[in-house]
Amino acid sequence: MRARIKTLAPLVFAVALTAACGESGSSGTGGGGDTGGGQASGDACAPVAGDQLVVLEDDQGLQNADNIIPAVNAQAAQANPALLPVLNQVSAEMTTEELIQLNAAVEVQRESAEDVAAGWVEENIDAAALEQGSGAITVGGANFPESSILANVYADVLQLAGFDATVQEVGNRELYMQALINGEIQVFPEYLATATEFLEGDDANQVASGDVEETRQALEPLAAEAGLVFGEPSEAADQNAFAVTQAFADELGVSTLSELAEACGDGSLVLGGPAECPTRPFCQPGLEETYGLEFADFRELDAGGPLTRAAIEQGEVSIGLVFSSAGFLAQG
């Protein structure tokens, strides 16, 4: 499990990646496509099997803004003025869809994180446009594929800019944040909201939100106090998300959680997720309070992992909690 699973709960610290063509399952329903804004019957909102998953847009901002953002030791940033500008070039180019494809390449196609990162940098970064620096920089990475990919992307771009950059696996957030603060590593690919809440340190006082700029402003004084600086957040985000099969979305004509609530507000949906989902504000209670969704049943699965994916694909649940950059959400 990723070191970030904090988004499910008020924080400690991830959507979508390998699928083929969608296929209508054995729900025995005929949703008839677009609902035209009306509410569908309970049968039409029953789970629909299919091998292509799609994340429904969190259009009312239930989830915190966990955009990828470079975290840098403040002394290293001061000593190397090109460091943050170079890393910001990654943020300027990385999208969630690209992050999904990168995760799919490692998690599904079994390519190495190093090769996948090198390919992305070659395709997306103009070396001639980078500010130039020098000196040794250690980029930390946590022990899950996405973090390793991003750490290697950072290191490769820093190499193009003249730095002698290497990657070091550091473990969980408690370990790598301390190593970053101490200067044992100088750079780390972080998650905006999760890093903000970690540095704030009080689970009862939530300062992150679904607004990227507001969360970034909340992060800045916390980072300064810790001896860190953060670069620009990328468009790419890895946060809690809710997926359905493409077949289910097509039958109902929905692409957002608000549209799902409008189409299936009669309490006929089956929700899948980890055991804590029924009590955590970013999971079932959040869906109920923010979107007005009601559920006929809850199926205890894992936190955005293979059990949840299988349950959605096989039509055992209507909607399941995943991570928004998961490799199994990749199209094609």
DSSP string, 161-207: TT-EEEEEE--SHHHHHHHHHHTSS-EEEEEHHHHHHHHH--TTS--
Per-residue pLDDT, averaged over 302-323, amounts to 96
What average pLDDT does the chain have?
88
pLDDT of residue 108 exceeding 60 = yes
* The pLDDT of residue 27: 28
Q: Which residue has the higher pLDDT, 189 or 20?
A: 189
Secondary structure class of 330 (helix, strand, coil): strand
At 331, which helix (H) or strand (E)?
Answer: strand 330-331
H or E stretch covering 228: strand 228-230
Residue 15: the pLDDT is: 33
**Mean pLDDT (whole number) for 165-189:** 96
Would you say residue 24 has pLDDT above 90? Answer: no
Question: What single-letter amino acid sits at 22?
Answer: G
Cα 88 to Cα 86: distance, rounded to the nearest angstrom: 5
Q: What is the pLDDT of residue 42?
A: 52
State residue 261's pLDDT score.
Answer: 96
Residues in contact with 327: Cβ distance below 8 Å, sequence separation at least 6, in sequence order: 16, 17, 18, 100, 103, 104, 105, 106, 107, 108, 145
- Secondary structure class of 157 (helix, strand, coil): helix
Specify the range with the lowest mean pLDDT, choosing from 7-16, 33-42, 130-139, 292-301: 7-16
Q: What is the pLDDT of residues 229-275, one digit of tens each?
A: 999 999 999 999 999 999 999 999 999 999 999 999 778 899 999 99
* Mean pLDDT along residues 37-55: 77
Asked if the model's pLDDT at residue 126 lies above 80, the reply is yes
Residue 75 has pLDDT above 50, yes or no: yes
Question: Cβ(10)–Cβ(208) under 8 Å?
Answer: no
Higher-confidence residue: 107 or 21? 107
pLDDT digits (tens, 9 = 90+) for 196-218: 999 999 888 889 999 999 999 99
Residues 6+ apart with CB under 8 A from 276: 8, 9, 283
pLDDT of 149 > 60? The answer is: yes
> Per mean pLDDT, which range of 19-33, 49-63, 107-121 is the poorest?
19-33
- Is the pLDDT at 3 greater than 60? The verdict is no
Percent of the chain clearing pLDDT 90 (strictly above)? 82
* Full set of structural domains in the chain with CATH: 5-62+239-331 (3.40.190.120), 68-230 (3.10.105.10)
What local confidence, expressed as pLDDT, does residue 267 receive? 81
Alpha carbons 219 and 190: distance in angstroms, whole number: 12
